[in-house]
Structure 1
Amino acid sequence: MIFSTHPLHPEVTDALSAIGDYRVASAPSAKAISSESEGAELIVVRAPIPPEVIEREKGLRALVRHGAGLDMIPVETATRAGVLVANVPGANAITVAEHVIWSALALLRRYPNVNDDLRARGWVEGRAHADHGRELTGKTIGIVGMGNVGRKLAGMAQHGFGMEVICHTRRPDSVPQSVRAMSLDQVLGTADVLVLCCPLTEQTRGLIDAAALMRLKPGALLINVARGPVVVEDALIDAIESGHLSGAAIDVFDHQPLPNSHRLFDLRNVILTPHMAGITEESMLRMGQVVAAEIRRIAAGDLPENLVNPEALDLYRKRFV
């Protein structure tokens, strides 16, 4: 049985249904996933997988992430159980990069304020924000994390808007020749727009704390399309309320869904989106097509192309070969 934590693109649903018995969770909750995944051999992951599902399902062959990030999968638990883990790197990189550019443009042109005041207070009040808008062209963008998203974003920023691109990454071999790699402190002190698109690890958790935020240039923007815990949320709110930052666009949060009472909702110069930077009709189809291809390989007895835990192979082969 192929089990998915979420409904998928119709074409992908058809492809998976052609491979075998295909079922979708009634809700992307831990309770529904745990109770409804019984008997699963392959799981498509778009919501956190409870470790007990992996430990319970003796016929589980693989967990295939519908996306790149692995924080929804207890990889160590899967490896100990001899369960393969695969992901889909890069399929939504252009989607996330577009979201960053859109967010930066909207913040610089004060779109949240313009939209609110035009609707609530009229033409004159809305248009008054125009004099304080800024252009993206010629600004310096600092990218933390130079993976698939970072590289796509660098190309858009340079070739579309004539921006200077600087970055901080633990993989200097991934930096395009036209991009300057710097220390984190140098990026913070130089960037007009700071973009976080790094993975969540023990090294990046809390990376952008109060001290880091104060090292940003006054008036800078912060855009987070990485993971919520990379930023200390209370410190970010303080930096915006104090006026040190001119705005932020946040797609990911410490706790999701974001509670309606959260302090971020009170900030007019913050764009909030519900973890959707990588989701469009096109990206969902691209990601789903790769997921279906990986599941087809595993169901046929082959290994996935994007295997992320090769340490599980010996036990996996004892279980299924």
Structure 2
Amino acid sequence: MNVIFSTHPLHPKASDMLSGAGRLVIASGPEPATLLKEGKGADIVIVRAPLPPEFFDEAATLRAAVRHGAGLDMIPYEAATRAGVLIANVPGVNARTVAEHVIYVTLSLLRRFRLMDRDLRQNGWNAGREHANSANELSGRTIGIVGMGNVGRSIHQIARHGFGLDVVANSRNITNFPPDVRAMTLDELVEIADVLVLCCPLTAVTTGLMNADRIGRMKPGAILVNVSRGPVVDDAALIAALEEGRIAGAALDVFSTQPLPLDHPYFRFDNVIVTPHQAGITEESMMRMGTGAASEAIRVLGGEMPINLRNPEVVDHYRRRFAAR
């Protein structure tokens, strides 16, 4: 029987889909040593935690690593490709989910929700209400989007057509920009944006993208929102800017170290919203990601190529391994 190994539990609909395709095994924990031990002999791995490169050593039966979501940084690309393992993902299914999160945390910062809620509970009605005098509206502002993939385009749709924001963007590919988005260099964008949203993939180029120089170019009243990956932001530079009051605040869903230690400096700031890498997670998005990953797993086990194959150069090697057509 085929073994489908998942680093985390799946949505019930996804588990039901896989019940006829093989034996579903859920890892007891996301630690590399646990994944290496419990993932031996798998035919498919569904990925929600970083896989160590060694996972692909002597993986004679492993056909595909299927990302439960879009970002591929959890799958060691070179190790998987060298081993003749297909890589697939489920792009776009939680783009709207992430976009809603971006608007939600931005509004929370502008309307001083954390401070208002705390003071209302601790100090009474008037103390909470006083924060309204310093609150700001979202409409009439400029949002800068770094990365115009599925998430970036969803943010644009809500920001522009829901709130009437001026949208500027920076991306590797500007050919698919909506007509009402102005393309800018990153250095131009950081200077003009009232809300700066990072939703780009983590690459060698984007690591440290928001460094001290670029954070220093941001407007004093600007907000930084990161829903990409933690290393895209230079933590020390952002913390310094927050301590010195050089930007208005930040909303961070991803971090260079995850889980984020409870003594991390980000927890000290009232104008920082910290969330545990959950911008793309809702009951609905978990269903879409899970069933999407299950569909790709079933497709591969049935002898077909994934719809969202991300390492096409591996196909010849893969076919030699399994004599697949």
After TM superposition, the score normalised by the length of structure 2 is: 0.97
- Equivalent in the alignment of 2:42: 40
Unaligned runs of 5+ in 2: none
What is the SS of the residue equivalent to 1:58?
A: coil
Counterpart of 2:240, as a letter, is: D
Q: Which residue is equivalent to 2:57?
A: 55
Q: CA RMSD in A?
A: 0.8
Give 1:84's aligned amino acid. L
1:259 pairs with 2:261: yes
For the residues of structure 1 that align with 2:19 and 2:156, how far apart are their CA atoms?
38
Secondary structure of the residue aligned to 1:245 is: coil
Aligned to 1:6: 8
Q: How does 1:1-321 map to 2 (within 5 A)?
A: 1-321=3-323
Indicate the SS of the match to 2:196.
strand
Which one is further off, 29-38 or 198-207?
Answer: 29-38
Query: What percentage of aligned pairs have identical amino acids?
Result: 57
Report the 3-state secondary structure (helix = DSSP H, G, I; strand = E; otherwise coil) of the residue aligned with 2:45. strand
1 CA distance for matches of 2:235 and 2:180? Answer: 32
The 2-side partners of 1:204 and 1:317 are apart by 34
Residue 60 of structure 1 and its aligned partner are, at CA, apart by 0.5
Superposed CA offset, 1:176-208 (max 9, x none)? 111000011111111000000000011100010
- For the residue of structure 1 that corresponds to 2:167, the secondary structure is strand
Give the secondary-structure state (helix, strand or coil) at the position aligned to 2:175: helix
Q: Cα offset for 1:238?
A: 1.0
Tell me the CA shift for residue 95 of structure 1: 0.2
- Number of aligned residue pairs: give it: 321
Q: Tell me, in whole angstroms, the C-alpha distance in 1 between the residues paired with 2:122 and 2:56.
A: 51
Amino acid at match of 2:264: H
Residue segments in structure 1 that go unaligned for 5+ positions in a row: none
Q: CA deviation at 1:120?
A: 2.2
For 1:17 and 1:161, locate their aligned partners in 2 and report how far apart those are by CA, in whole Å: 44
Amino acid in the other structure paired with 2:217: R
1:138 aligns to what SS in structure 2?
coil
Stretches of 4+ aligned residues off by more than 4 angstroms: none
CA distance in 2, matches of 1:96, 1:63: 23
Instruction: Provide the rounded CA distance (Å) in 2 between the counterparts of 1:305 and 1:109.
Output: 43
User: How many Å apart are 1:31 and its aligned residue?
Assistant: 2.0
Cα distance, 1:75 vs. partner? 0.7
> What secondary structure, in the 3-state scheme, does the structure 1 residue paired with 2:60 have?
coil
Cα displacement (A) at 1:30? 1.3
